[in-house]
Each structure stands twice: as structure tokens, then as C-alpha cells.
Structure 1
Amino acid sequence: MNGLRGSVVLWLALAAVVGSVYGLSEDLDRPLFGLLGSPVRLAESDPGLKKVLQFAEERYNRGSNAMHLRKVSRLISASKQLVKGIRYSITVELSNTQCKKSTMLRTCDFYPEAQKLKTEVCVFDVWDIPWEGTSTLLNQKCKPIDEPQLEETNKVTDASADQSVEESEELLGQFKTFMVKYNKVYSSQTETDRRLSIFHENLKTAKKLQSLDRGSAEYGVTKFSDLTEEEFHDTHLNPMLSQWNLHRPMKPAPPATSPAPSSWDWRDHGAVGPVKNQGMCGSCWAFSVTGNIEGQWFLRNGTLLSLSEQELVDCDGLDQACRGGLPSNAYEAIEKLGGLESESDYSYSGHKQGCIFSTGKVAAYINSSVELPKDEKEIAAWLAEHGPVSVALNAFAMQFYKKGVSHPWKILCNPWMIDHAVLLVGYGEREGIPFWAIKNSWGEDYGEQGYYYLHRGSNACGINKMCSSAQIT
């Protein structure tokens, strides 16, 4: 997230891909051309970059306490990512000019003396929507050119020294509590200090998520609060899900025979097993599929089994084990293998190993698989009639989710950039807020006893994009 960190990076610019941005729809429910969010390096002459640099300068000067205006003295690097809007990542050097902030001069020269320039290296993340004429500073980090650590400079330093000490003590107390609660042990003092810094940034991120949420969700410290966004994505999410060219067609599910009841929860009907933990392995796709099959087997045979995700991690040659996979591939692999072993016979290790599947130990099988419609009312009706559903979503708001119904803005939680597979087990309302009940695979100490609750009825975070189920006849 970088500030709102990279996940809040709102990669929204289909129009820019084809060259003209003005007058085009802001509909996010359209796939992209080319690679999703692929960064493109920019030349200094790029006209959009010039405009964004001016915007970043203005925001920097507005937020700093410096007496003099600062300008970009050197462009180090710049890139942009397109989806429906443009996210610029810019690294520059900013130096003092001879103009005081109170002046209205249009031309401000740099100081000729190097020691008065007080040059800083700054990284800016800016989200620009050209056709709306709006720009947003998502993140700003600067450091003096001769210092080793990045520090935020977009602050008004009006707090007293005592307040600063008090805040530091509070932060250390929160971090110690976090370490004890989640049994965190680090290899060295240097690593502990690094994780404390990440923890601090993540507290800010959770606070911003809280201010942006439109539901009843609470965000804050979770067991992932010492991970950077990149670490979290690498170890718990699934990059294959957003690679739409890899998806194989599935036959459509027959429609439900009755409208959806006002609420339904398969946990109340015995079709959902305990929450599991995928560990630091991007195998969510396997947990989503096995959860679906456990429910289907229960509905056909009356027995709730715990089936093996490790079998899929080891033996599914269509997917990439801990580096991600697709439910559609997993169903096909299970059919070819002849079924799934039980968890007890083929236990989970959280990393790929040699395939030791035995047809003699098959505990459950499937005959085929189907893809559900994209309408949420139809999904609800199908779920109530046929059992828990394998789904995928954009996990934008999940790293720091604690409880309640999460409802991120669509513009922040792009429905086409799904990166996590889960199990839809029910739906209902809380205090007038419609929700989906989602069984996650990050352990019972995540969210609400392992569950995530997401707003229903707005296609939030792409929850309707990839709904599927095995079929057992």
C-alpha cells in the first residue's frame, strides 16, 4: 500500500491504454488489454509526467515546514501503471530554491551553494484521472540525500517532545503486545527494528483503511501487521487468479429452481468444516476447492470429510503449488487423479513436495465442475440450494481486517484484479448491511474466527467474477 501502500494503488486506466482518455466510461467491470497493471517506464519529456511532477511539488511544499520552496532538481526514475486512471511512481531529488513560501514569484532559482540546497530524495505515488482533471497523492516518502533511512516529511511537526516520547512508548507497547500474542520472534535486533518500522507503517495503513470503508468493518493490528505488502502478497495471495488468459472455459451451472431466501448459512446445516491455515504458501486455490468439495460430498453422502489440499499442491500439474493456481484447473486435476485423499492420509505441509497420491486412499471424488452466473442474487440462490461455493476476490482490505462487514470503494478494490480464492458459505444482513460470509484459509486467529465478511449486492472486490463448484453424481 505504500501509504495506503501499493494495494491502494488504484490502477484504473483502460482509456489510457488505447491512447485517449477523455469522455470514456469509468466502468470498472471491464477486463484490461495487455498485462494487468504492468509498469511502463517514462521519459522525462512525457507530458503527463510533467503535470504530475508539478502536482507533487505543490503538495510537498504545502505540507512541509521548510521556509523556502523546493523544486525537482533531478528526475531519477518514473513509471506509470494503467487500468482506469494512471498511477505514477516517481523518484526525484528536491532542492531548495531562493524563493520563500510567502513570495509569489513564478521563477525560483536554486541556491548556487551546495550546502544550502538541502537536497532530498523523494518517492511520490500519484493517482491521476486525466478525464476528470483530478490527482491524488497516495504516498510521499523523502530522505536527506546523505541519510540512510526514508522518513516521511509531509507532516507539520507541532507536537511537543514529550508527546513524541509518549507516542514512541505507545508504539513499542503495541508492538510488544503483538509479538506476544502472535508468538513473533526475530533473528536479530536489526530485524526486530525493521519489523517495528513495518508495524508502524501498517498501523497508519489500517487507519486509512478504516477511514475509507463504507461498511461496519474494523481494521487494525492482525498477525500480518509485521509484513510488507510485497511479503504478504508473495506468501498469502495468488497472482494467477488475475491472469485471465489462463482461465479455461467451464460449463455453466444450471440455475437455481427457487429464489434466494433472505439469509442462509451452510455452517448451520453441517456442510462446512473447521477453518484451516494455508501458512506462508499461495495455495488458497486448493483450500477453496477442497472446501467446496467437502460441502458437495456432505450434501450427497451425509458425511463431512476433511480433504487434502496438499494432494493438489503436490500433484496438480496444471497449477503452480505455492505460487498460485486456478480452481478450474484444480477440478480438472482432481478428475484426472481420480479423487482426493483425506487430510489425515495426505496431510498439509505448506510447501510443494513429491506427489504421493494413492488411488487406494481416495476419500471423495467429483464428476465435473460448473461456473456460476455473475449476478449476486443468482449466486445466493444457487448457494442456498446447492452448497458452499468456491469464489475469488481482490484481497485489498483483508490484511488488516479484524471484524465487521467490509465494504471498500470499488475504485480501491478493482473487481478484475482478484488475487485470493476463498469459500462462500452463506449470506445475510447485519444492522441493515447485506453481507457474504466467507471462509478464509489463514487460520482461526484471522478475522472473525477465520471468516471474512464482505458487502453483498455491489459486486464488491470482484466476488462475483469467479464462482464455481464441483459436481458429484
Structure 2
Amino acid sequence: MAPWLQLLLLLGLLPGAAPAPNKPRAAGAQAWELLEPARFALEMYNRGRAAGTRAALGAVHGRVRRAGRGSLYSLKATLVEPPCNDPTVCQLPVSKKTLLCSFEVLDELGKHMLLRRDCGPVDTKITDDKNETFSSFLPLLNKDPLPQDFSVKMASIFKEFVTTYNRTYDTEEEEEFRTIYLNPLLKEGPGKKMRLAQSVSDLPPPEWDWRRKGAVTKVKDQGMCGSCWAFSVTGNVEGQWFLKRGTLLSLSEQELLDCDKVDKACLGGLPSNAYSAIRTLGGLETEDDYSYHGHLQTCSFSAQKAKVYINDSVELSQNEQKLAAWLAKKGPISVAINAFGMQFYRHGISHPLRPLCSPWLIDHAVLLVGYGNRSATPFWAIKNSWGSDWGEEGYYYLHRGSGACGVNVMASSAVVD
């Protein structure tokens, strides 16, 4: 298997058992999304060629860069050209030829555009920029060319896409991702000491979802600010207030950014410190009264406008069975995780291997809102704060029961009496 595909597998983006020969598995949708852009690139390569002279796809691997509704695919593919036996075209019979091609394909609003094509002779293996050998990905189908009706609007969309999101796929981009969206302070420990919550003695039901119970507000967007800690805590408090008072209010993250003097606003923070700040301040205002701007401002909290208060905060068990039982009875839970796999996530149940998603390198705070099973695979339903366009309508589904990405190591909740 190609190293790039092995990476996807390790990230949990290609879950499940090995597929039957020549049959794509449903769980491998992340890899098979390369199929359409690869087939389109092939159609562009073959345009104008007579039947019998058209190349076929051999093997493909690639990377994808997403932004908004657009996806930019960087593909490497082997193309196999048929032998030339036509005396009017070639002087001597020529055996079939294998080419290595690099393609850039933009997919925007369901339309495809070929941005770059670079092909040259090569043997039957794909090599990357470090001359490491890649074996075949999966045989790709060579039929049903995709639509080619591109418009001037597409060119305009592409120009905006490239101008805004033209980045590399190397360490610089990954560092940018962590600097802008993640929370390095979480690795330093739990922060302010909290008492340990009493475990729920009941066994957890087979599944639970607080979204269906009205305890979860809509998915929010932290923007280019490492304020995940504030969103995780307000989500938890929203749920606790709903369970105790019967009213769901969207609470202010900006208040925590501006007024929590222990944490560091967009540079990160800890849920334990945020709970303490809420108690010290005297409560939380609503989103409507203290709206989110995504950068540090002067604290303008008004105790008269505070709509919600908390009495205490508690640390929860690291046992996932006990976490599920607590969640089902007590409400959504603030947790911190290693977000390494989240930058590649689109849908499905993610299950990165421990070496790639160490529980000791947690860097993102999120909200557990439920759990269940898909095709016998247990999962946590996690509310993220990167907008509803990310993941599954803003949610991340992570394997449950294996301590995946440290989801169980820093679980906590506010207490509302």
C-alpha cells in the first residue's frame, strides 16, 4: 500500500477490513473521492485522441486541499497508453507505454477544471518527490467521462480560491493550522484543580444524543482564533443550564476571551480556568448581548446582563463507559483531544492509531454531545467549533472505547444547582 494511503488508514480515514478485489468498500469513501478528479484528468488527457489510442488509468494517489465549497486535488497517476501498430502513425510497432502524470484538478460546486498536467515516461510504479516507491492504489474505472461545461464564473471562482488558499501541503501549512485553530496550552495540564465528580451507577443506554433532547445549540465558528476552550465550556454550560432550567441559551464565548484573565484568549486556554472565571465574574451573558468577534477586546461584561451562572465544576472519569453513563444522565461534556486527524476529516468514524494521535498531545477542546454505533462501530458524537461546513455538518465522529486521540483524558463539566 502506498505510504500516503497508509497515512490515511492510520488516521482513521480509511476504516474497516480490506476490500474484496476490484470492489470499492463503502468505508473507503475518503480514498475513492479521488476517482472523479482522476477520471476527469484522464478525459482531458485523452481529448482529441482516436478510439484505440486513448490511455487508461493505472494507479493514483493524491492529496486534497479544501476551502469552503472547493477542493483542490493534487494527483499523481500512472497512465497506460496502448501499443501503436498503425503503420500510418508509427513506423515500427511500439509496445504499450506507461507514463507518470502529475495533475492539479479543482472541484468547485460540482464542476471540475484541470489546472496542471505534466506527464513523462516512467516504469509501472509511482514515485514521490523523495523517490520513495508507491504501489498501485486501486484499479480505477475508465468510463463515463464527466461533464466539461465550464463557465467564466468558474474561472472567477478559481482565481479567488487560489488567491485565498494557495498553500503547500508540508510542515508550514500544518504549523499554520495548529497556530491558528488549536490550543497549545492544553498540553500543559488540566490547570485549576477540580473535584472529581461522583460516577453514575446506572449502565449507559446503547445510544444517546442530546441534540435530539434540545440541549445543544447550533454549531458555531471560532474563526482564526485558538478559542476552542471557550466554545467547549459554553457548550457544556448551555447543556447544564438547559437540564436544570429548561431553557436553551446560546452563551457568549467572547466574554471569556475578554474577561478570563488567566487564559490567553486566541492563544489558548483551559476549561478548568474558564469555569473559575465564570464563577468569579458572576455568570455568562448570551451571544446576542455579548457577540463573538474572534479576537481579544476590552472586557465589557455586565453582571446585570448575565443570564446564566454556575455553582461549581467537576473533573470526570477517564473510563469511557463511565463517561457515556454520565453523559446520558447529566448532559454534554467538555473534553480535549489531539486534533491531528481532524484536519483531514470529512465524514465517517475516525479512528487514528495511537502513535499518530497521542493522548498526551491534546491540543483542541470540543464537546461530547452523544454516542452510539454505526455498522457495529462505537463512536462519540462531538460538536466542533469550526462552522457547520466542516465535517458532518460541523460534527466529528470519533471511535469510542479505545481512548482515541485522548478523548477521555480531560473530561469536565460545570455544575448548576
**TM-score normalised to structure 1 length:** 0.57
Give how far 1:379 is off: 0.3
Q: Distance in 2 between matches of 1:242 and 1:255?
A: 25
For the residue of structure 2 that corresponds to 1:352, the secondary structure is: coil
Contact 2:240 2:416 in 1 (8 A): yes
Question: Please, which runs of 5 or more residues in structure 1 have no aligned partner?
Answer: 11-154, 206-226
Would you say 1:173 and 2:113 are equivalent positions? yes
Match in the other structure for 2:301? 357
Matching of residue 447 in structure 1 with residue 386 in structure 2: no
* Alpha-carbon distance in 1 for matches of 2:77, 2:389: 38
Is the CA contact (8 Å cut-off) linking 2:386 and 2:394 kept in structure 1?
A: yes
Matches for 1:268-417 after TM superposition, within 5 Å: 268-417=212-361
In 2: Cα distance, 1:444 partner to 1:335 partner:
30
- The aligned residue for residue 32 of structure 1 is none
Deviation at 1:449, TM superposition (A): 0.2
Aligned pair 1:230/2:175, yes or no? yes
Q: Which moved more, 1:167-176 or 1:435-444?
A: 167-176
| Partner Cα distance (1:174, 1:439) in 2 | 35
Distance in 2 (CA, whole Å) between partners of 1:182 and 1:425 is: 39
Aligned residue-pair number? 291
Partners of 1:301 and 1:282 in 2: how far apart? 30
Please state how far the C-alpha of 1:267 moved relative to its aligned partner: 0.5
- CA deviations on 1:144-165 (whole Å, 9 max, x unpaired) are xxxxxxxxxxx99998999566
Given the superposition, is the C-alpha separation of residues 165 and 268 from structure 1 closer, same or farther in structure 2, using an over 3 Å criterion? same
Tell me the amino acid that sits aligned with residue 167 of structure 1.
F
1:265 pairs with 2:209: yes
1:38-437 matches, within 5 Å, as: 167-168=103-104, 173=113, 180=157, 184=161, 186=163, 194-195=166-167, 198=168, 201=169, 228-244=173-189, 247-437=191-381
Find the residue that maps to 1:412 and give its secondary structure: coil
What is the identity, as a one-letter code, of the residue corresponding to 1:424? L
C-alpha deviation, 1:173, in angstroms:
3.1
Question: 1:399 aligns to what SS in structure 2?
Answer: helix
Residue number in structure 1 paired with 2:27: none
Cα distance change, pair 168–470 in 1 and its aligned pair in 2 (3 A): closer
Once the two structures are TM-superposed, the CA of residue 249 in structure 1 deviates from its matched residue by 1.7
| 3-state secondary structure, aligned to 2:371 | strand
Contact kept? 1:414, 1:461, Cα under 8 Å: yes
Q: 1:354-378 CA deviation, whole Å, 9 max, x = no partner?
A: 1010001001000000000110000
Partner of 2:30: none
Aligned partner of 1:293: which letter? Answer: V
Preserved CA contact (<8 Å) 1:428 1:434: yes
SS of residue matched to 1:465? coil
Shift of 1:182: 12
CA distance in 1, matches of 2:233, 2:333: 9
State the one-letter code of the partner of 1:311. E
**How far apart, CA to CA, are the structure 1 residues paired with 2:387 and 2:191?**
28
**Percentage identity across aligned positions?**
57
Cα distance change of structure 1 residues 421 and 174 upon mapping to structure 2, 3 Å threshold: farther
| Structure 2: distance between partners of 1:296 and 1:442 | 22
CA–CA distance in structure 2, aligned partners of residues 178 and 440 of structure 1? 32
State the distance in 1 between where 2:361 and 2:78 align.
38
**Preserved CA contact (<8 Å) 1:410 1:461:** yes
**Does the CA-based 8 Å contact 1:179-1:185 persist in structure 2?**
no
* Structure 2 partner of 1:92: none
Q: Distance in 1 between matches of 2:369 and 2:155?
A: 30
Q: Deviations over 1:58-83 (max 9, x none)?
A: xxxxxxxxxxxxxxxxxxxxxxxxxx
Partner of 1:28: none
Letter of the 1:173 partner, please give it: M
Q: Which amino acid aligns with 2:163?
A: Y
Q: How big is the alpha-carbon RMSD for the aligned residues of Structure 1 and Structure 2? A: 3.2
The 1:384/1:178 distance shift into structure 2, 3 A limit, reads farther
- Give per-residue Cα distances to partners, 1:9-44, cap 9 Å, x unaligned: x9xxxxxxxxxxxxxxxxxxxxxxxxxxxxxxxxxx
Find the aligned partners of 1:338 and 1:437 in 2 and give their Cα distance.
31
In structure 1, how many angstroms separate the alpha carbons of the residues matched to 2:224 and 2:302? 26
Task: State the TM-score, normalized to the length of structure 2.
Answer: 0.64
- Shift, 1:412, TM fit: 1.2
Q: How far off its partner does 1:254 sit?
A: 1.3
- Residues 169 and 435 (structure 1), Cα distance of their counterparts in 2 relative to 1, 3 Å cut: closer
Aligned 8 A contact 2:79 2:98 in 1: no
- d(CA) in 1 for partners of 2:102, 2:401: 44
> Does the CA-based 8 Å contact 1:250-1:370 persist in structure 2?
yes
CA distance in 1, matches of 2:322, 2:380: 13
Inter-CA distance 455–179: structure 2 relative to 1 (3 Å threshold):
farther
For the residue of structure 1 that corresponds to 2:220, the secondary structure is: coil
Query: Distance in 1 between the 2:388 and 2:196 partners?
Result: 33
CA distance in structure 2 between the aligned counterparts of 1:241 and 1:419, rounded to whole angstroms: 5
C-alpha separation in 2, matches of 1:242 and 1:179: 42
Give the CA deviation at 1:170. Answer: 6.7
- In the superposition, relative to structure 1, how do residues 169 and 413 fare at CA in structure 2: closer, same or farther (>3 Å)? closer
